[in-house]
Structure 1
């Protein structure tokens, strides 16, 4: 699109320059006409190409050159011709040419310079040709070009803004959809794990009409605790941690797990290290009750507290305290 608009602008610029050279009446000062053509071509080439590879917005110096050209070219052309010839077809080339220069300024995000260029052109053409002739011989077309260019830039900007907004919404929807898929997958995995844990116990319970042996009751309590662990602390769980908690419960230890987001933001390798360390701590724990808590803390990721029942008033005494830091020491 940018290449097409650049080619169109340069093509029209060459057309207006060729129209200016094809004079049918000898100018009184030909060198002024040639100077006007050269200045116009230089200003147009600079306005179209300067900084175009880096940004759509035209640099300030080419914009100033375009404004200066809109002042100088009508003067040079008009002075180089006798008053009766100033309304000849070849003599009015600067009206369309300067209008094109104003369009380039607007398209390249310099609207103030574009409208200033058009204003200067209108004043110059009316002064040298008269108001009626100026509007009849091309000024209306130049004004129309500039207005249409300004409207197109406004609409284009809105379209780009709406497109970016729609793209952001689409990305947010895609991210939300991906999150939902992940959560569904996690819920499915948890449901399968819950069925694998509780299914056999429930099956035996139903088959035995609730009359379970002591060993089966112990398995049921362990299964219940395992299900609570999966719900309360899924990010803490690994095969080694699950096995260590199960072994602790078989020894008669009451294990409670709380996950309050202490592992959020950690990479998978550090999570595996924390889980391995937690499994090792639980394997050595001999407390009556063990509390595992992953609290929100900038330093400590997981705290393991072991309490042993003792004392005449059944007060709990802490006999295990272990902290696993978020960052490995």
Structure 2
């Protein structure tokens, strides 16, 4: 499959191979040809290792969550290859200059390493090892100037290598900035999608509540309108029960099923004042767990005889629902109601 990365890799391999091949194009005999060939082999092996070695393993979920960080981690040159690149910057200039002899250090087949090490350090820079790349350029500059002099080194290719590494660093910074912007955009898109989903869910929940309110209060309101507001005792009781059911549906829908609703209505019909509040703690529970909690709540209500019942969810990790019953003390005012029921319904499976 042809991609931008594959094209760039092919160009890097071809260019470094061309630079190394220049070192074999001898226009005059060299004292130590084996050293030249061995140095060229070392250079090519190191360079191609820096091009192809990519051991970083980034999962798809991590890359999606942290696009910029995953992009940099995946492209960073491993430490062993980085050390080999520095070793090549130290060894290649001196080995080539020594092998071709003092009279040929400025010949074309002897100065290839100025571009070759520059290309290697450009690859190191692209692989996100900037300090290593600039250290290699400094080593190249010191070595080449020591063998051929500052003027010759600058004129024969050192300046070009410095320019390559500089351009590579600017390009890498631009790519990293683009990756960070992409990551921020992806996070904003996820946040916008989550907000939109929550709004849709709230709208659906409000529609359900309105439908339930119409189903509960509709008949009572119809009778009220039909009688002109003149309700008998049975109608007033039904209105109070309808109000209670509406409050239950709005304040504690997670606590309700048909059995709990029936017990709440039975308690209100005998005159009890019932308050149901969902104050958190049941979020994320599956239907089976909620069914167990509701069954225990219905059982607690079935045996309750208190005049006031308070049913609240609990944020405690062990307690799911607390049921408190209060009734007037014998001979005392209602403000001094005594607690005659206390029931804590635990979370299923809680220790």
Same fold (TM over 0.5): yes
Q: By how many angstroms is 1:145 displaced? A: 1.0
- Shift of the 141–52 alpha-carbon distance from structure 1 to 2, 3 Å rule, reads farther
State the distance in 2 between where 1:66 and 1:286 align.
85
Per-residue CA deviations over 1:113-150 (Å, capped at 9, x if unaligned) read 11111112122333333333333322222111101111
Q: How does 1:174-189 map to 2 (within 5 A)?
A: 174-189=193-208
Structure 1 residues 139-148 or 284-293, which shifts more?
284-293
**Residue 34 (structure 2) pairs with residue 31 (structure 1):** yes
1:44 alignment partner, one of 33, 44, 47: 47
Does the aligned pair in 1 maintain the 2:43–2:88 contact within 8 Å? yes
- Shift of the 4–49 alpha-carbon distance from structure 1 to 2, 3 Å rule, reads same
2:294 alignment partner, one of 275, 279, 290: 275
**Residue 146 (structure 2) pairs with residue 127 (structure 1):** yes
Structure 1 spans left out of the alignment, 5+ residues: none
State the distance in 2 between where 1:12 and 1:53 align.
26
Runs of 4 or more above 6 Å deviation: none
Structure 2 spans left out of the alignment, 5+ residues: 58-73
Per-residue CA deviations over 1:130-181 (Å, capped at 9, x if unaligned) read 3333333222221111011111222222222222222222222222221221
1:301 alignment partner, one of 297, 320, 327: 320
Q: Which TM-score applies when normalising by structure 2?
A: 0.86
Per-residue CA deviations over 1:179-231 (Å, capped at 9, x if unaligned) read 22111111111111111111221122122211112111111111111112222
1:70 alignment partner, one of 86, 89, 107: 89
Does the aligned pair in 1 maintain the 2:292–2:348 contact within 8 Å? no
Equivalent residue number for residue 212 of structure 1: 231
Structure 1 residues 49-58 or 85-94, which shifts more?
49-58
**Residue 177 (structure 2) pairs with residue 153 (structure 1):** no
Q: What do you get for the CA RMSD once the two structures are aligned?
A: 2.2
State the distance in 1 between where 2:148 and 2:281 align.
81
Equivalent residue number for residue 325 of structure 1: 346
State the distance in 2 between where 1:148 and 1:156 align.
12
Q: By how many angstroms is 1:51 displaced? A: 4.5
Does the aligned pair in 2 maintain the 1:262–1:297 contact within 8 Å? yes
**Residue 17 (structure 2) pairs with residue 11 (structure 1):** no
Q: By how many angstroms is 1:274 displaced? A: 0.8
